Amino acid sequence: MKRITELTEERWRTVHIRDEYGNRYSDTEEYLAKRPVKTVTSGPRFGHHIVDLICFQIIIYTVNWGIGLLYTAFQFNPFINLTIALFGSVFLLLLYPALYMFCEYQWQRTPGKFLTDTFVIDEYGNKPPLRAIIFRSLIRLVPFEPFSCWGDTYSYGWHDRWAKTWVVTREELTELKRLQMEQNEVDPA
């Protein structure tokens, strides 16, 4: 099966031709070009990030409430309270990538991506393997990583680039699958 980055499409371009008298004129010709993967742009991705952060804050609030109940239950034992604080801090640190890992592995999207009907796909247009999802989620801890999605026509952040994943709309995913089917029938390699 062809990778989504190897798919081609027919395009037209202008060519300049000289006739036998040396006169130059323009004509158009059809050619095959690599088709860019039309990932989601920066605006919706920023929206995904905000919605996911709101969901994350709700989960943090709930976890902190549970930790507070444990503190109250063991208020006279400082060793247990220190242990609860240590495990709570580690848990909260790992909760951010864990939320992304769970959602993207289970449904190929996070709560923010549900709102815009977008999906995370691998280089073949399928659900990414668990290893890629874990790597993609851990990359989100890199400082300034959210800013890597700004600037391009089609947003392709570090967590996508390094994990070889793409965030696409349902329509783009359908088009990629259609092109893969057509081009695999023509070129069985």
Contacts of residues 77-80 at CB distance under 8 Å and 24 or more positions apart, as own/partner, are: none
Give the pTM.
Answer: 0.77
Domains in the chain: boundaries:
8-37, 42-185
- Give the number of other CB atoms < 10 A from CB of residue 189: 6
pLDDT in tens, the chain (189 residues): 889 988 998 899 999 888 888 889 898 999 899 999 999 988 888 899 899 999 999 998 998 888 778 777 777 777 777 787 788 788 888 888 899 999 999 999 999 999 999 999 999 999 999 999 999 988 888 888 777 777 767 778 888 889 999 999 999 999 999 999 988 876 655
Report helix, strand or coil for 11. strand
As a whole number of angstroms, the distance between CA 165 and CA 119 comes to 10
Please state, in angstroms and rounded to a whole number, the distance separating the CA atoms of residues 177 and 124: 9
| Amino acid letter for position 1 | M
